[in-house]
Amino acid sequence: MTTLSEHPPSSALSLNPLHPLEPLTPEEVAAAVAIARSQKAIGDQFRFPCVVLHEPPKADVLSLQPGETLPREAFLILLDNATGQTYEAIVSLTTSKVTSWQHIPAVQPNIMADELSECEAAVKAHPKFVAALAKRGIADLDLVVVDPWAIGNFGFADEVGIRLSRAICYLRAVKGGNFYSRPIDGLVPVVDLNTMTVIRIEDMGVVPVPPDPGEYATRFVTQPRTDIKPLQITQPEGPSFTVEGHHIRWQNWDFRIGFTPREGLVLYTVGYEDQGTLRPILYRAALSEMVVPYGDPRPQHFRKNAFDLGEHGVGMLANSLKLGCDCLGEIYYFDAALTDSRGNVSITENAVCLHEEDYGILWKHTDWRLDEVEVRRSRRLVISFIATVDNYEYGFFWYFYQDGTIQYEVKLTGILLCGALADNPKYGTLVAPDLNALNHQHFFSMRLDFDLDGTANSVYEVNTEAEPMGPDNPYGNAFFAQSTLLPSEKAAQRLIDPFKARYWKVVNPSVQNRLGQPVGYKIIPGDNAVPYAHPDSPILKRAGFMTKHLWVTPYDASELYAAGAYPNQHPGGEGLPKWTERDRPIDNTDVVVWYTFGHHHIPRPEDWPVMPTAYSGFVLKPVGFFNASPAMDVPPSMKAQGCCHEGESSNNQ
């Protein structure tokens, strides 16, 4: 087991230049903040929602030759609490200068962790809040939890231009207990986050607090199972991957990783070595936005539509992972160098986990005539991180397989968001006495910058069609796959269709395999859904990307986030719906594919008090990218007595 923190961090001022896509080191983060402070006279009233690598131009990275370097730059977002103004800056770490400083009007950056704690303290200190609790018979403030949420945008004029949070309140049964099981419905403080003042207390009437404590921690579980034997995963010779900085090689896979406070894990320059040539597949891949719309229309709940990336940032909320709990086996950890809101360097240790795991049978065939069996075990490389966003946990997992397949999977667990039943269970499920778990959905937008054997790619939709009965199909059994080119942005706004076995493929029309087919990868949908919000609802105006499962745009380095750069309190219309109005051509060009997948959650009693993990995602699978199966060179797995194949060839091991 190795963590990045065990090694001295690299410095931008060292004699060893960093690769241009290496994340900022802690020293670089500190330097960027210091340069900005000194050259722009930034006082204590400023917060730093974001300090990350300013990625160099894609063309410069792709043309970089061995031994060459590019200037190192940092990108900063700054919030002036005194004026409510937001700024973006670019700081050159090479020249120690602020090279760009821009005011971004009428936006709100993401809410930061220490804003949450300051907000809670302000609410608890407010006499009207204390009086509202007393009206409900609640006197012990130590048992009260104030959980600030982004307020959204619902067109209310008195909220325009003010940085706001609308808090949900809870009451623990005991100190250290599960507060999510006991919501104080009908009591909602609203706070100005720039001044940390309570601007109003929304009191919708007294609702009884649900009685069940819903405890789940080990100290509350009195009779754990006793019939579980130890399961150990060992690699006596160590793992098969190598890591240099944030550059990872595993079998034929080669890629880099980064980490941002908004997106979390970012993949760069993903390629596969094929017959001695490293072939590019993806230049950059990351989660661009995730939105959780809730389905209860009551005043207490209708605003619950969380943009977990744009309003908070899953990278900033990443867990420090624990060996044997979050990760199992021979693990390599990466730390994340971030900042707190005041610009101080904040290290999330063990933020990213890298390991291998067995994945069953890769391929097998038995030739009974020769009495010979050939079988290969599948192994996959796993790189992941986990974020806690209020009540929910999200595990974000990339899997790389030996046959060239890439899989992305989100693992959803944590605690359901509940309200007091209040005699209205229609929009949720009763999971404990008087406790209603609200219906909701989780939508994820992936930004996939494909570069299949080069930057000029095209996207096709593939539907399976049944051949009509007739002379060419006399017995009615024939069907075929019909590929249709998606030539422009509007044509590429598509929905899944399981009745047509629909998938999409990205191809390079200028590169062919040995069979004369264009090399490609296909996007295979997994668990998915459509939003049930009304087309005119505020949430669909703000998160319009949810309305389509596939979007395709021509490459633009500034188009990173499906709902726009600043969704917090934004009225909507930004991101993919706005960009694609231009209907730009996307055939045989540098394309970015945006895949939306949704997890539809009607809660169950079995999801309480902590939800067993649910899974959602998609698969990228080679289709003509290779001349044949790239997994044929995987050797048989050794076992105690010989190896996992039989026949004459077993003597060759």
What is the model's pLDDT at position 278? 98
What is the model's pLDDT at position 645? 59
What is the model's pLDDT at position 639? 65
* Active site (annotated) includes residue 392: yes
Q: Tens digit of pLDDT for each residue in 227-260?
A: 999 888 899 999 999 999 999 999 999 999 999 9
State the chain's maximal CA–CA distance in angstroms.
Answer: 86
Rounded to the nearest angstrom, the gap between the alpha carbon of residue 547 and the centroid of all alpha carbons in its chain is 19
What angle do the packed helices 127-135 and 113-124 form, to 10 degrees? 70
CB 18 within 8 A of CB 247: no
Q: Tens digit of pLDDT for each residue in 57-103?
A: 999 999 999 889 999 999 999 999 999 999 999 999 999 999 999 99
Q: Is 591 exposed, middle or buried (0-12, 13-18, 19+ CB in 10 A)?
A: buried
**Residue 120 has what DSSP assignment?**
H
Is the pTM higher than 0.75? The answer reads yes
What is the model's pLDDT at position 421? 84
**Catalytic one of 87, 170, 332, 392:** 392
Torsion angle in degrees (nearest 10) through CA of 186, 187, 188, 191: 160
Distance CA 87, CA 105 (A): 8
Return the percentage of the chain with pLDDT > 70, whole number: 95
Q: Tens digit of pLDDT for each residue in 141-173?
A: 999 999 999 999 999 999 999 999 999 999 999
Q: Could you tell me the CA-to-CA distances from 616 to 98, 439, 449, 588 in Å, in that order?
A: 42, 17, 21, 31
Q: In which band, very low, low, confident or very high, does the pLDDT at 222 lie, cut at 50, 70 and 90?
A: confident
Distance CA 297, CA 300 (A): 8
What is the model's pLDDT at position 649? 41
Q: Which domains does the chain have, with CATH numbers?
A: 2-104 (3.10.450.40), 113-220 (3.10.450.40), 241-452+510-581+591-622 (2.70.98.20)
Q: In which band, very low, low, confident or very high, does the pLDDT at 11 lie, cut at 50, 70 and 90?
A: very low
Q: Is 624 exposed, middle or buried (0-12, 13-18, 19+ CB in 10 A)?
A: buried
Q: Tokens 């949720």 belong to which residue? A: 428
Which residue would you say has higher pLDDT here, 18 or 553?
Answer: 553
Q: Is a pLDDT exceeding 80 seen at residue 416?
A: yes
CB 436 within 8 A of CB 418: yes
* Active site (annotated) includes residue 308: yes
**Catalytic one of 254, 296, 308, 451:** 308
Q: Tens digit of pLDDT for each residue in 567-596?
A: 999 999 999 999 999 999 999 999 999 999
Return the percentage of the chain with pLDDT > 90, whole number: 91
Q: Is a pLDDT exceeding 70 seen at residue 6?
A: no
CB 186 within 8 A of CB 226: no
Q: What is the mean pLDDT of residues 367-372?
A: 95
Q: Is a pLDDT exceeding 50 seen at residue 641?
A: no
